[in-house]
Structure formats: C-alpha cells, structure tokens
Amino acid sequence: MDGHDSEDSKQTTADMSAFVQNLLQQMQSRFQAMSDSIITKIDEMGQRIDELEQSINELRNEMGTEGSTSPLAPSKPKPEEAKSSDGSA
C-alpha cells in the first residue's frame, strides 16, 4: 500500500504544480493586459494635455492680438513656461 500512496502523492503534487503554473500564467496575462491598458490611457491623456496646451496657447495669442486689457490677460511667462509654450515637450 505504501507504493500506491506514494503514486497518489506524486500525482497530487503534479496536479497542484500544474494548477499553480496555470494560475500564474493567467495572472501574468491579466497583469500584462492591464499594464498595456494603463500605458494606452496614459498616452491618450498625454495627447489630450498637449491638445489642451495648444488650445490655451491659441487663446492667449488671440487675446494678445485683440489688444485685450483684461485683468486676466497672461502675465510675462516664467523662463520654464516660455520653454514649454513653444510646443516642445
């Protein structure tokens, strides 16, 4: 009987190992899918921010060409703002 119990134990261990390996592979694919999704969303957000920045710059230019004396008119940009306002990242 000891030989039979040993075979059952080996089979149970092999089944458990296969189960754990399968589970880890599923987790890895899910994490990879989530990672890809997050990266895609971050890229989309970056594009939207760039578009928003461009729109703000266009509005500032329009306000400047109209000679607006609004108190909300932009003040002289700081050196770090001037670098980003030329469209480069």
Distance CA 14, CA 25 (A): 16
Residue with the larger pLDDT of the pair 1 and 56: 56
Q: Encode pLDDT of 32-46 as tens digits.
A: 999 999 999 999 999
Instruction: Print the domain residue range for 51.
Output: 31-63
6-10, 27-31, 51-55, 80-84: least confidently modelled range: 80-84
pTM of the model: 0.52
**In a domain? residue 83:** no
**In a domain? residue 89:** no
**In a domain? residue 41:** yes
CB atoms within 10 A of CB 17: 10
- H-helix segments, 1-89: 2-65, 79-84
**In a domain? residue 24:** no
By CB atoms closer than 10 A (0-12, 13-18, 19+), residue 24 is: exposed
Distance CA 73, CA 35 (A): 42
Q: Encode pLDDT of 47-85 as tens digits.
A: 999 999 999 999 999 998 765 555 555 555 555 555 555
- Looking at residue 1, what is its pLDDT? 46
**In a domain? residue 23:** no
Overall number of domains in the chain: 1
